[in-house]
Amino acid sequence: MDALAGSPLGWLCVGVTTLFGVTVLCTAKRSPAEKTNVLVWSLLPALLGLLCVAMLGAGEGLVVFCAVSLISSVCLGGRVLLPVGEKAVLITGSDTGIGHALAKYLDNLGFVVFAGVLNKDGRGAEELRRTCSQRLSLLQLDITNATQVKEAYRKVSEKVQNTGLWGVVNNAGILGFPADGELLPMSTYRQCMEVNFFGAVEVSKTFLPLLRKSQGRLVNVSSMAGGIPLPRYAAYGASKAALSMFSGVMRQELSKWGIKVAAVHPSGFRTGIQGTSDLWDKQEKELMENLSADTRQDYGEDYLLGLKSYLLHMPAYCSANLSPVLSAVLHALLAKRPHGLYTPGKGAYVLLCIFCYFPLWFYDFFISKMLSTESVPRVLRTSEAESKKL
């Protein structure tokens, strides 16, 4: 250590360490909420680097130290959040679920929130009026209604004026009736695409001029089903996959304007997206009425009627704690270097990795075991019984 302290490389190590430490402390000061994370992610690698210098010698140790400092800086840039200030954010689908919780969360953090709701006189809108600050504005916003989208743009433009809109969170979405893709009526496919994809595209295109002014953020809430194929989600998954691809393309195209785009793929959360029992009855009736005689015969009445039980049991497998999703959206809105894709919730990232990096037969086998149901179409039950007799 004495030889190191008196050598030019030793003094270089001290100088680099000092500069790195000052940078870390300045970053922590600018982002008090992330101070602990900043110090952990930065000072620990710096100490590790100095230890390497002491153990390996000045030359090799300096190389290791510079490497860990670079890695730390990359990680640090992804964790440092910009100040909230008076940043304005539009959230669609704020009546219930993630959008409703996000409107409250961002309002509590000091954002100027424009909460788009399907029903401005509904219970969700009333709760936002009652519990949120004066900064929050409610907008009547059916994202499939071009007139309402334009009117929302006019109202937001009047309020933000020259500062622009910092963020747009395309959260509004519908699930449809989870059933085998063959059974779903075309109206379900069209409705899912209309809300989950075309509506989000319409909102994005309309509000992009305001995002350009602020060099802000576009955040699209997709789904785990938008990144991996899941049984019974043909319509919903296809519409969310389209939204995810749209996000990826827009991320590339809008970077020249300084706009950052992120897609969020939550796993199962209890949001109420499955709807009410009245809606299920209506969707089930529509599904049954559109089936051909052959299809109805092959699947069997008990299998078809059992589809609703899947909806009834869905909440039991979903987490009621939405904080992972809210944290992901906040990071996408405020991080200096936000991720292009977020996968909050249990299993979301693991399943995506299995789908991307393992053989498809393995993924299909894994999903079939994980989501196995006791219900089997009538014809397959009959065929299996006959095989056993033989």
Question: Cβ neighbours of residue 27 under 8 Å, at least 6 residues apart?
Answer: 38, 42, 76, 80
Return the percent helix, strand and coil in the chain, to nearest 5: 65, 10, 25
The number of beta carbons lying within 10 Å of the beta carbon of residue 48 is 14
Beta-ladder partners of 89: 113, 167
285 by Cβ neighbours in 10 Å (0-12 / 13-18 / 19+) ranks as exposed
Both structure tokens of 89: 């954010």
Asked if residue 372 lies in contact with residue 231, where contact means CB atoms within 8 angstroms, the answer is: no
Nearest of 370, 333, 348 to residue 170 by alpha carbon: 333
Question: Cβ neighbours of residue 378 under 8 Å, at least 6 residues apart?
Answer: 297, 298, 299, 300, 302, 303
Nearest of 351, 54, 64 to residue 227 by alpha carbon: 351
Both structure tokens of 231: 């049984």
Q: Is 303 a catalytic residue?
A: no
Amino acid at 259: I
Asked if residue 243 lies in contact with residue 197, where contact means CB atoms within 8 angstroms, the answer is: yes
Q: What is the DSSP letter of 1?
A: -
Report residue 101: phi and psi, to 5°. Answer: -65, -35
Catalytic residue among 236, 299, 303, 342: 236
Query: Which contiguous run of DSSP H or E holds residue 170?
Result: strand 167-170
3-state secondary structure of 217: strand
Give 271-312 as a DSSP string: -STT--HHHHHHHHHHHHHT--HHHHHHH-HHHHHTHHHHHH
Asked if residue 103 lies in contact with residue 91, where contact means CB atoms within 8 angstroms, the answer is: yes
Active site residues: 236
